[in-house]
A = this chain, B = another copy of it.
Amino acid sequence: MIRIDDVAREAGVSTATVSRALRGLPMVSEATRQRVLEAATRLGYIASPSASRLAGGRTGCVGVVVPRITRWFFSTVVEAAEHSLHEAGYDVLLFNLGGSEQARLKLLRTGALRQRVDAIMMISMPLQPDDFAAVSRLELPGVTVSSGTPVPGWPSVRIDDVAAARDAVGHLIGLGHTRIARICGKSSDELALTAHVDRQRGYHEALRHAGIVPDPALEVEGALDLAGGAAAAEELLRRGVPFTAIYAICDEAAMGALTTLRRHGLRVPEDVSLIGIDDHDLAPAVGLTTVAQPAAEQGRRAVETLLSPTGPQGDVLLPTHLTIRESTAPPPRTLGPEITSEDGERP
């Protein structure tokens, strides 16, 4: 292995000068810098990260914590953040919670992040009261994306979830719907996620604004993925309460609901209108109307904020916009879905 001594000898300078020259520090004459750079290139020298870290106190790593990398929103944010971080010379340490509470606790309580990263990016992380102490004990700068739970002292990058939900439900109301079901996350698991609370509030605000009294029988909790959406729609149908539209908290849940509706022979949007929030990659493929949020942009902005020379600061609020496709239409004449035996013609 080529070490810094080798480069120093080759360039005829001290190791201190090599270190300064290679890192672009000032206080090195241009001529010397050139000589060092050439020597380093000639030898194929790369500084040992472990040694630099130990001596310099910086790890050059950023920890990215994400609930489930397999979900559209999270993978999109991570892709954008990873790109920006590598551009800025940082390595990315990935911590995927995989939906496991245990993984969350382990990450926060143990030293998994201590001394391993210079900064933390938490995407939609629900934090319990106890967790704040653990996070602040890390004494690391950080940023939250898509406001899981705001962390005191950390800036956040997010959308206005209340407005997004209001726009989604408002669109349905504008089409003439009044019996609008809501598929949401489990309040037990994710109470602390502001996004969930906000999207619930937006739903209620839109209804009230239109003079519609919210009906608790129309609100169903479920996991925020396909299976959860499918199960929630199933539960909704079992309740037997009439509805002409479904507002799902995210596109994946909406697509899950779509599966269930189809399985029951219900047509979308003829029998039931369906709207989500996200603008998932596959939303066009299933013709899903949704409120689009800029996922990649949130990842980029989070890195920008985190690496700002003046330190992470300021909250960023990004715009969303209603994207109308084929899954929403005026309600049918007869109120509520009719279970037909015919299975429809589209897969």
Contact = CB atoms under 8 A, between A and B. Distances in A.
Nearest to A225: B281
Given A50-B59, A284-B259, A79 B68 contact: yes
Interface in A162-221: none
Contacts of A284: 226, 230, 259
A325 B267 CA distance: 18
Interface stretch (A90-98, A304-312, A331-339): A90-98
A326 interface: yes
Given A284-B226, A286-B286, A344 B346 contact: yes
A246 interface: no
Contact of A116 (B49, B111, B115): B49
A91 B50 CA distance: 14
B48 A115 contact: yes
Contacts of A91: 93, 116
Interface in A54-112: 54, 59, 61, 64, 68-70, 72, 75-76, 78-79, 82-83, 86, 91-96, 98, 103, 111
Contacts of A270: 345
Nearest to A96: B82
A267 B50 contact: no
A48 B61 CA distance: 14
A54 B54 CA distance: 8
Contacts of A76: 70
Contact of A78 (B69, B255, B286, B344): B69
A133 to B, nearest CB: 13
B269 A287 contact: no
Contact of A75 (B69, B226, B267): B69
A51 interface: yes
Contacts of A79: 68-70, 96, 98
Nearest to A52: B50
A206 to B, nearest CB: 22
Contact of A346 (B75, B282, B346): B346
A16 interface: no
A9 interface: no
A25 interface: no
A285 interface: yes
Given A82-B96, A91-B93, A46 B285 contact: no
Interface in A273-330: 274, 281-282, 284-288, 325-327
Nearest to A267: B345
A258 interface: yes
A53 interface: yes
